[in-house]
Amino acid sequence: MFAATFAKSTRSLNPVDQAPQPYWLNQRELGTEIPMINPIMQGRDRVIDVVTTSIAWFAQQRYFLQSFSPDIRAFLTSGATIRERHDSHSTTSTQVLLPSLHCDIGVSSMQATADPLEDPDSAPGWRGRVVTCVSWLLGGGRGTRRMLNARIPLREALEMMPVPIVTVDHRNQITFANARTIELFGYTREQLAGASAEMLFPIRGVGGDHLEVEERGDASQIAGVSTTQVLVARRRDGVGFPAETNTTKYTVHDQVLRIIAISDRSASQEVDRNRKELVHLARVSSLGELAGSLAHELKQPLTAILFNAQAAQKYMESETADKAELRGALEDIVTDNRRASEVIQKIRTLARKGDIELQPLDVGDVVRDIAVLVHSDALTRGVRTRFDISENLAMVWGDRVQLQQVVLNLLLNAFDAVKECAPAERVVETTVREEPDGGVRITVKDNGLGLTVDKMDKIFRAFFTTKLQGLGLGLSISRTIITGHGGRIWAENNNGKGASFHVTLPQGTGLRQGCGPQSP
């Protein structure tokens, strides 16, 4: 799930958006005017690059660079896939790597291919630098040849890489770990050498396969073909963190070696956590709106309990204690107590800060639960609510609390929408129906003023609100939740008055377990 998200976000990154400024500023601070190439990319791209470069270093003992396969050359020349890393750590090692680079570069070639989108002031742009790199690799300068002819073992090449890299043999034992790995995990080099890879990655990843990849014959040993996984990594101090690993197989002397580049994904986990906090915050805020009426929802059973208990006392006091009446009163006390507990439970569930729990759900039940909670609020606001829920609905995979949050949000919005209507016209209808394709549709229909065209576009955006006391997050978060469930949420104006909000959720079987609301 992390992997999918990450790959998507990497692909969607526009190189121009990456603002290379800090990196170059950093360079100037270091007093080096050398145009650096940083062949480090994020995620998948990064490891392909790292591995390819490593291979380039390794392979050039025997081959001249010209003999590179067209694929690799095409890859090297395609600037679009290269991403720059802004990390200041990375610059130090590349300085070592490419000291003689600048002298062999034809300035004209740099300018010719410079990205027109780039700021002309910001020195040669990243694409220019890629071309520089390629022309350096392909070019025939004396310095270059000297560089390429130097025998640099794979070990040393990997050691210089500014990403944590380990190599693992066919028994899943670590054969090598570079300096960054040692820094990241806190083990010493000795501790790592020969240890099982499971020491670093103790838990199976979400993607299913562990690092322990079974051999699938020659086909899987093509250099440059990497697999990406998100795993839980554990430091020496026992602290776990999410890590993305990019594994590439490589054969050296008939030995299959897996080169694993690791990137720490803690930061993205924090983003994920913040998003969860936000969803929770919005939910609690909705509950806050309801607070007064929820109190009433509790007062009802409490009042009934009190009356029944007092009646029971009176029966006891009277000479002719009517056992049947007494039993009736006590039974009702028990029932109302349960009813009060259920309300509290429902409130607690909604207010709870819990992990997402995917389970097969009857959407009808989800809506019924919320109907109980908004009952009093509707009464206070003079809104008549109708709930028309089909029986035996198709089951849906989902998180109960999150779906309840969406329904609650839609209902509260609808109550607001009918606020200005005449008392008799304040009606909100909710229907839950099975879709012809097996999914389930929830429709919340109000007969308020409806939505203007410009609002229709904006309502699902974050921080857009028409209310005086609204965060403007409700619908935006609802959409995040519904999309996460593989469903759809949209609004339309009714033929008559008001607007309808529709939510469709796919039928359970269509949804793989494990994907869902956690992926944004």
Partner 1 sequence: MSQPTTRVFVVDDDERVGCALTRLLRASGYHVECFDSPEAFLDRTDLASTPACLVLDLQMPGMTGLEVQHKLDQLLPIVFLTGHGDVVSSVDAMKAGAFDFLTKPVSESLMLAAIDRALKRACIEFAKRTQRAEIEERVNHLTRREREVMALVLTGRLNKQVASDLGAAEKTIKIHRARVMEKMKARSIVELVRLAEKAGVHAADDE
DSSP state of 199: G
Using the structure block, give the residue that is written with the tokens 């609802």.
Answer: 478
CB atoms within 10 A of CB 49: 23
Among 74, 222, 306, 344, binds partner 1 (CB under 8 A): 306
Burial class (CB in 10 A: 0-12, 13-18, 19+), 46: buried
Piece of the chain touching partner 1 by CB under 8 A; list 141-149, 186-194, 200-208, 323-331: 323-331
Using the contact rule CB under 8 A, the part of the chain among 20-28, 213-221, 222-230, 379-387 near partner 1 is 379-387
Nearest distance from C-beta of residue 287 to partner 1, angstroms: 17
Which region among 50-58, 115-123, 296-304, 442-450 touches partner 1 (by CB under 8 A)? 296-304
- Window contacting partner 1 (CB under 8 A); options: 100-108, 127-135, 374-382, 433-441: 374-382
Q: Are the CB atoms for 177 and 169 separated by under 8 Å? A: no
Q: Report in angstroms how near the CB of residue 290 gets to partner 1 at its nearest.
A: 12
Token pair belonging to 318: 């009277």
Question: Segment 384-403, which members bind partner 1 (CB under 8 A)?
Answer: 384
- Can residue 318 be called a binding residue for partner 1 (CB under 8 A)? yes
Identify which range of 16-24, 255-263, 309-317, 393-401 contacts partner 1 by CB under 8 A: 309-317
Give residue 499's identity as a one-letter amino acid code: A
- Does residue 148 sit in helix, strand or coil? helix
How many residues bind to partner 1 according to rule CB under 8 A?
Answer: 32
> Using CA atoms, how far apart are residues 481 and 516, in angstroms rounded to an integer?
9
247 binds partner 1 (CB under 8 A): no
Is residue 376 a contact point for partner 1 (CB under 8 A)? yes
Q: Which of 167, 293, 404, 409 binds partner 1 (CB under 8 A)?
A: 293
Provide the minimum distance between the beta carbon of 368 and partner 1 in the complex, in angstroms, as a whole number.
17
Find the shortest distance in angstroms from Cβ 454 to partner 1. Answer: 35
- Quick one: angle between helices 323-351 and 266-317, nearest 10? 170
* CA distances for 397 relative to 27, 275, 380, 486, 518, angstroms: 51, 21, 34, 9, 13
Query: Taking the CB of residue 188, how many other CB atoms lie within 10 A of it?
Result: 11
Provide the minimum distance between the beta carbon of 345 and partner 1 in the complex, in angstroms, as a whole number: 18
| Cβ neighbours for 463, distance < 8 A, ≥ 6 positions apart | 471, 472, 473, 476
Quick one: 72 or 298, whose CB is closer to partner 1? Answer: 298
- Sequence-separated (6 or more) residues with CB below 8 Å from residue 517: 356, 358, 398, 399, 402, 481, 484, 485
Check residue 300 for interaction with partner 1 (CB under 8 A). Answer: yes
- Indicate whether 90 belongs to the interface with partner 1 (CB under 8 A): no
Q: How far is the CB of 446 from partner 1 (least distance, A)?
A: 17
Q: Which of 139, 141, 202, 382 binds partner 1 (CB under 8 A)?
A: 382
- Does 329 engage in binding with partner 1 (CB under 8 A)? yes
Min CB(330)–partner 1 separation in Å:
11
Query: What does the alpha-carbon distance between residue 488 and residue 441 come to, in Å, rounded to a whole number?
Result: 9
Nearer to partner 1, 316 or 468 (CB): 316
φ, ψ at 365 (rounded to 5°): -65, -40
Please give the Cα distance from 146 to 139 (Å, whole number).
Answer: 12
Task: Assess 310 for contact with partner 1 (CB under 8 A).
Answer: yes
User: Quick check: 338 binds partner 1 (CB under 8 A)?
Assistant: no
430 binds partner 1 (CB under 8 A): no
314 scored as a contact of partner 1 (CB under 8 A): yes
State whether the Cα torsion 169-175-176-181 is positive or negative: positive
Decide: is 143 part of the binding site for partner 1 (CB under 8 A).
Answer: no
Helix (H) or strand (E) run with residue 501 in it: strand 499-505
Nearer to partner 1, 175 or 335 (CB): 335
In the complex with partner 1, which residue's Cβ is closer, 325 or 492?
Answer: 325
Residue 289 binding partner 1, by CB under 8 A = no
Q: Output helix, strand, coil percentages for the chain, rounded to the nearest 5.
A: 50, 15, 35
Tokens 């291979």 correspond to 55
> Is 327 a residue that touches partner 1 (CB under 8 A)?
no
Positions of E strands within 296-390: 358-361, 384-389
Distance in angstroms (rounded) separating the CA atoms of residues 195 and 172: 9
For residues 506 and 488, what is the distance between their CA atoms, to the nearest angstrom?
9
Nearer to partner 1, 78 or 313 (CB): 313
Task: Kindly state whether residue 379 participates in binding partner 1, applying the rule CB under 8 A.
Answer: yes
> 236 near 195, Cβ under 8 Å?
no
Minimum CB separation of residue 334 from partner 1 in Å reads 12
Is position 240 an interface residue for partner 1 (rule: CB under 8 A)? no
What residues line the site for partner 1 (CB under 8 A)? Answer: 292-293, 295-296, 299-308, 310-311, 314-315, 318, 325, 328-329, 332, 335-336, 339, 376, 378-380, 382, 384
